[in-house]
Structure formats: structure tokens, C-alpha cells
Amino acid sequence: MSGILGKKIGMTSIYDESGRNIPVTVVEAGPCVVTQVKTKEKDGYDAIQMAFDERKVKNTPKALQKHFEKAGTTPKKVVREFSRFEEGHRKSLGETITVEVFMEGEFVDVTGISKGKGFQGVMKRWGFHGGRATHGSKFHREAGGTGTINPQHTLKNVKMAGRMGFRRVTVQNLKIVKVDPELNVILVRGAVPGNKNCTLIVKSAVKR
């Protein structure tokens, strides 16, 4: 398993060798620093902790400052754990991870926080068809009945109006179209969750 932390820059499109236009998302991936190595003997499980994106020292708690000093790096904004990796590919404390962990043509899973849409009705939130708009109908965008004959109350998990978006989403099997080590950028085919400048977790595809 290869993984890295990144930031969504935006979307654009490029042309391949055959002249087809491909929509891509530009992701600034790394460089990330390994700030902690967890082992089964000491912590109960194997994992590595990665940090990404610079943070001002004055805005960093002293405990975190010491934590980053042990890894020999400056304070970072984002810290995440990666617990799934192949034997022989373990990273050491203070090691830098760049976009070169990925190759062009590789498939990845991208995780991020989706855009928040606020409070929405059932038609936008769940794709309900709604009622007809003509012939004196007074049922247009409502949810309709939510109860049952027996028991005579609304059950749990019924689709209703409510807050939409702003949740952790993973898009699987996205193809890496291009890797640029000089700019620390990868181009991923298609769209990824979140708005511009949001933090992303890019991992090797699980189902490939």
C-alpha cells in the first residue's frame, strides 16, 4: 500500500496521446514527513503517522512542537495515520514521502470531506421525484407519508429533509493520469470530494 496526504488545487482537463480530452483533478500531494512509527510491541498495532502542510510555530501547542522536533521537522497542520502497508516498505522516523510513491496509470482511492450543502429537502438530498406540478396538485416537493400502518409511528433511518454534505467520502478506483515530482502534483482522472484547498488522503486502490 502506498499513501500520502495532499491538498485539492482544482479541476482542469488535459489531452492524451490519441487527442481525447480527459477531465482531471490537480492534487498537491506532499511532501509529507513521518512523525511517528507505531509498532505492535509498543502500541498494540503497526502504523506510521504522517504530517503535511506548514503551520506557524506560534499557533502550535508546545506538546505538538516537541512531537515534531523528535521527527526533526517543523510544525505541520495535518497529521494522519496509515496502518496498512506492505512488509519491507516501512518508513523510518523523519523520512520524507513524496509523490514518487505513485506511478502514472496506477489506481487510487481518494478520501476527503464533501462540500456542505446546508439544510436540503428530500428531492435534492435523496433524489425523490416529488409530486406533479399541474392539475391543481398541492403535492410538489414534500416527502409524503413517513409512517406505517403497524407500528403507527415513523421508523428509524427513514429518508427525510436535513443537513446534506460535509461528511467523509471516499471515491474509489481513480486513475492517476500524470505525476509531476518537481511540483509535487498528481493529476487524477475525474472528481474528488471536497472544495478547493481541502485536505485529501490518497491511497492505493483497495479493489484493484
In angstroms and rounded to an integer, the radius of gyration of the C-alpha atoms of the chain is 23
- Position 88 scores a pLDDT of 53
- Position 1 scores a pLDDT of 62
96-135 exposure pattern, b = at least 16 Cβ within 10 A, e = fewer: ebebebbeeebbbbbbbbbeeeeeebbeebeebeeeeeee
- Position 51 scores a pLDDT of 92
- Beta-carbon-side half-sphere exposure of residue 130 (alpha carbons within 13 Å): 17
CA distance 139 to 141: 6
- Position 79 scores a pLDDT of 92
Phi, psi of 205 (to 5 degrees): -65, 135
- Position 87 scores a pLDDT of 58
pLDDT digits (tens), the chain, 208 positions: 688 999 999 999 999 889 999 999 999 998 999 999 888 888 888 888 999 989 999 999 999 999 999 988 999 999 999 886 665 556 788 888 889 889 999 999 999 999 999 999 999 999 999 999 999 999 999 998 888 888 889 999 999 999 999 999 999 999 999 999 999 999 999 999 999 999 999 999 998 7
148-164 exposure pattern, b = at least 16 Cβ within 10 A, e = fewer: eeeeeeeeeeeeebeeb
82: cell is 496509515
- Position 152 scores a pLDDT of 87
127: cell is 433524489
Peptide bond into 151 cis (omega under 30): yes
- Position 65 scores a pLDDT of 92
User: At 41, which helix (H) or strand (E)?
Assistant: helix 40-43
User: At 28, which helix (H) or strand (E)?
Assistant: strand 21-29
Closest CA to 190 of 172, 204, 168: 172
